[in-house]
Amino acid sequence: MDYLKESNYIFCFMRDCREKGNIKERTLALRDTIDLLGGKWKICILRNLSFGTMRFKDLQETVVGITPKVLSKELQDLEQNLLITRTVNNTKPVTVSYAITEHAKHVEPVIEALLDFGLIHREKIKQTAKIAEPLTLR
């Protein structure tokens, strides 16, 4: 299935639903996933953690634009949904580190597909903007 072709994706999704016989259950599972990963920051946090364990401060620096309050809330949500683990390190001062769970590793291909699509889409928009720019007369 080519994830870059939206109509093909929707067709394949619906075909898979019919073949599996339970459109409602699969639709609810899709909505759950969207709710779980939705928002501006969760996917970015998970992608950063896919490279290894990180402390709160490191995450704050690598997830550009996120405030400490929002990062804290997003981390709590991800931990509650079993996508990350939180470890309090016995250091002075006390530090907290976060890591992606084995369960969350199933999301990594989805995140990479979103990243690939985002790069292709950004390039397409740039090309479209160049074409749409009015010609200036000299």
Over the stretch 23-72, which tens digit does the pLDDT of each residue have? 888 899 999 999 999 999 999 999 999 999 999 999 999 999 999 999 99
**In whole angstroms, what is the distance from residue 42 CA to residue 63 CA?**
10
**In whole angstroms, what is the distance from residue 74 CA to residue 60 CA?**
12
Backbone angles phi, psi at 133, to 5 degrees: -65, 135
The reported pTM is 0.74
| pLDDT over 90 at 109, yes or no | yes
Place of tokens 């709590």: 76
Over the stretch 64-92, which tens digit does the pLDDT of each residue have? 999 999 999 999 999 999 999 999 999 99
* Cβ neighbours of 2 (radius 10 Å): 8
Closest to 12 measured CA to CA, from 25, 26, 29:
26
Q: CA neighbours within 13 Å on the CB side: how many for 67?
A: 3
Rounded mean pLDDT, 9-32: 70
**In whole angstroms, what is the distance from residue 77 CA to residue 84 CA?**
9
Domains and CATH numbers, the chain: 1-37 (no CATH), 39-125 (1.10.10.10)
